[in-house]
Amino acid sequence: MTSPAEHRLLLDGESVSFREGETLFELARRHGDAVPSLCFDDRLEPLGACRLCVVEVEGQARPVASCTTQAADGMVVRTMTEALERHRKALCDLVVSENPAGATIDPLRGSASQELAALAVRYEADGGRFAGARSGASRTDDPNPMILRDYDHCISCYRCVRVCSEQQGDDAITVGGRGFATRITTEFEGPLADSACTFCGQCVQTCPTGALADRRALRHADAPGELAATRSVCPYCGVGCSLDILTKGERIVGVQPAFDGPANEGALCVKGQFAWEWVQHPDRLATPLVREDGELVEASWDEALDRAADGFREAARAHGREAVYAVASGRAPHESAYTIQKLVRTCFQSNHVDNCSRA
């Protein structure tokens, strides 16, 4: 058996190997990560829209977008010349002119929300000679309680539209208009809740400018303390998506998906992405309650468990043993799942046990 022929090209003067189908952007990133981009997201088909990832390829009259150019045997590629950096600075100024506030966006807005800000610092970009007219039509009036649509910060990279279509399969948002009338919109320009949006939050997490943001996280923007991220597992269903819980001091201030999470690879559903505030909601039960004369009153755990046991016994006596049914959490550890089925089977002699992962 013969091994496949090795492919090689010259990257910034160094002979490097590449895989069949690998783009120049991916190759350059494997060798240093210095080539910038704003429209690139690992999970999406490359678009080549922002042009910041341009590189020089010997024999080509003009720089090419490295994210849409596949590596080929014998290519001579330069990623970091003075001319390229001048070109990128001009492009960055052009982009920043669309979003003058880009450099000050709060990291709570989403995982990628600092990308433009970082490039604005790197290229000392402030919009320069391009400052003036801007595209986009802000929809901060969208009444949904989860996603802020602050298109004054939009740079038309279309990552939100692409992630919604390619990753989520929802096609809830699209690009409308041309030139300075270009805007991100829904069908019939309506609110997100009237579209096919499932509020997965993927668009929020891919937006490189913070034009899209978690409204709930933004409520904590001024909370004291350093922002910290702690890797955890979503407790809502049996999939067990990996996520990073954002905190300031003792307070949870947001959630971002883990892009290296084995179960979800950067995706979350509406519960994992937006239902984190309930953890510290003041209405959460902090003590058992039992009903006395129709009213719920606080009780000890012993009292509440005795009352529950009496209720189960009475249901089984009045309606038969199969009147008792248990639904365990899909996130329960094996030991807890074993214990609940044991309880139902041996104490109530019922086989009615299930879990939410089957829903």
**Contacting positions for ligand SF4 (CB under 6 A):** 154-160, 163-164, 168, 170, 172-173, 184, 197-203, 206-207, 209, 211-212
Tell me the CA distances in angstroms from 337 to 55, 58, 195, 352, 358, one per residue in order: 55, 63, 38, 13, 14
Taking the least distance from each CB to ligand SF4, the nearer of 113 and 242 is 113
Tell me the CA distances in angstroms from 307 to 292, 301, 348, one per residue in order: 11, 10, 16
Q: Which residues contact 285 (CB under 8 A, 6 or more apart)?
A: none
CB of 201 to ligand SF4, least distance (A): 5
CB of 28 to ligand SF4, least distance (A): 22
CB of 208 to ligand SF4, least distance (A): 6
Taking the least distance from each CB to ligand SF4, the nearer of 142 and 244 is 142
Taking the least distance from each CB to ligand SF4, the nearer of 56 and 115 is 115
DSSP-assigned letters across all residues of 243-280: EEEEEETTEEEEEEE-TT-TTTTT---HHHHHGGGGGG
Taking the least distance from each CB to ligand SF4, the nearer of 42 and 314 is 42
Give burial (CB, 10 Å; 0-12/13-18/19+) of 12.
middle
Distance CA 192, CA 211 (A): 15
CB of 184 to ligand SF4, least distance (A): 5
CB of 38 to ligand SF4, least distance (A): 8
Taking the least distance from each CB to ligand SF4, the nearer of 114 and 156 is 156
Q: Note whether 263 and 240 are within 8 A (CB).
A: yes
Locate 237 and state its tokens.
């269903």
Locate 173 and state its tokens.
């948002």
CB of 9 to ligand SF4, least distance (A): 31
Distance CA 55, CA 26 (A): 12
